[in-house]
Structure 1
């Protein structure tokens, strides 16, 4: 961990821990769900094993991450956020929305992971738009996440939901423009940028509930 900034300031103390490379993304992934070391490593393309080990150790020392035994015997340990670490979730969502304002389409070298998709959906959710329980399954290329919503509450996970979704979306890079309202559902479907399993009405409802606008000045890909 880098040297302390030497300021009696909450932001300085937070930056000391979360300003380290990969630390925020590790916390982001664990905010979606507990992970084994291998799952974390596979879900963070480009992170060296040694760096991941060091970051996890530092986050454990700061009571942000803890190790828990897997529920199934012989399945090793899981890394999870502590209660203190889970308090970062709304902060992560706010940072995600802020960063996404100037993020239109991925650059050729950009990678989308299931955890980053799930976190993006959580950050995009607008409470109160949907008043009856709904489950949405989103495939963005090779990655998958789902959202179960009910009024003010939203549960976001990677993989497949336990119950049949009300709407399944198959999307590519244009999903970001769709969530920003820069691409209409009809345009997305007619162009082949989006395929759905479910009704057009359900898609409209989904896009009303999950929305992150783009700045008029969009300079970051």
Structure 2
């Protein structure tokens, strides 16, 4: 029998239904549209099949979700939120916004999926930037297709393609994140072959302006140097006095760390040179910073090169919030 708080209180009653482990995360997944059992299992790493089956049964009995049949060519059973379940959208969005205030870099062992980033996009959406805009934007990122529909200050994010998209952008995860962080402009990304664009460039620019980072979120710092500087963790740099050099797609800059402070400057590190240097592409840099790519995996794959003192390189990763699969 399910546990209950046994309190005649709406908040307690709600927690009786959705307060168990995994329940709200199942709702998070279904807010993006119908999902098959296998989709839910893949989107909830760590959940056991028996636990998932039990949670779905309990949520169906509570009237939060129901089963439906996907149209051809899928023609298979899937789970979808009911009207009662959809009413939890503001709750999940507010919980996401509250979680964003907790900050902090990814922890060792943390996983990352594009789905979760889509929920962040919805929670961080600024209605005032989309007044009068009625458009749909389709994105194809890292093998996933999703679309965002803006309707005069309202946003809906869903899996799958959109039949009448104002533009379609195809990119890898790192480039998608770089566009959202305003580190690279759409036109520049298209010119450099990082993005394939169908439809009008103005529509793509509107999508980034509405959904991407804004000055308040980045302290006014845009561009690669600003993004790296914004990831600096003062608490991890206490007692550290070193210089690190970054070589990102031909752009060279360095960071001078001095006991919890950092100064970012364009150009190579001054003599006698950096204590550690990292060379990689923009996409990989963004994946490292977001925790989507652990440092060790990037090294094994050869997608980054590290020079200098190995211990200084590890301190460099910690200072700038790069997740590692294991930490001493």
- Quickly name the TM-score band, shorter chain normalised: 0.7 to 0.9
**Alignment check: 8 A CA contact 1:134 1:166 kept:** no
After superposition, what is the alpha-carbon deviation per residue over 1:103-161, rounded to whole angstroms, capped at 9, x for unaligned? 47655632214x32332332222224232332323345444422121313333211332
Instruction: Report whether the alignment pairs 1:96 with 2:88.
Output: no
1:172 aligns with: 173
Equivalent-residue separation in structure 1 for 2:73 and 2:137 (angstroms) = 32
Max radius of gyration: which structure? 2
Whole-angstrom distance in 2 between the partners of 1:196 and 1:132: 23
Deviations 1:167-211 (A, max 9, x none): 5263536866865x6x5445x95xx9x746377755553343225
RMSD: 3.8
- TM score, norm. by length of structure 2: 0.53
Q: Give yes or no for the alignment of 1:155 onto 2:153.
A: no
Richer in strand (by share): 2
The 1:169–1:70 alpha-carbon spacing in structure 2 relative to 1, beyond 3 Å, is closer
- Where do 5+ consecutive residues of structure 2 fail to align? 220-229, 234-320, 324-328
Q: CA separation of 1:214/1:87 partners in 2, compared to 1, >3 Å: closer, same or farther?
A: farther
Q: Which residue of 2 aligns with 1:45?
A: 45
Name the residue aligned to 1:135: 136
SS of corresponding position for 2:3: coil
The superposition leaves residues 27-81 of structure 1 with CA deviations (integer Å, 9 ceiling, x where unpaired) of: 1111211222222223323321111100001111211112234445994433211
Per mean C-alpha deviation after superposition, the further-off stretch among 145-154 and 134-143 is: 134-143
- Structure 1, unmatched stretches of 5+, are none
* Distance in 1 (alpha carbons) for counterparts of 2:49 and 2:218: 35
How many residues were matched structurally?
216
The secondary structure found in structure 2 opposite 1:32 is coil
Contact 1:34–1:80, Cα closer than 8 Å, also in 2: yes
For the Cα contact (< 8 Å) 1:94–1:123, is it kept in 2? yes
Provide the rounded CA distance (Å) in 2 between the counterparts of 1:169 and 1:77: 29
More RCO (CA 8 Å, sep 6+): 1
SS of the equivalent of 1:121 reads: helix
TM-score (norm 1): 0.74
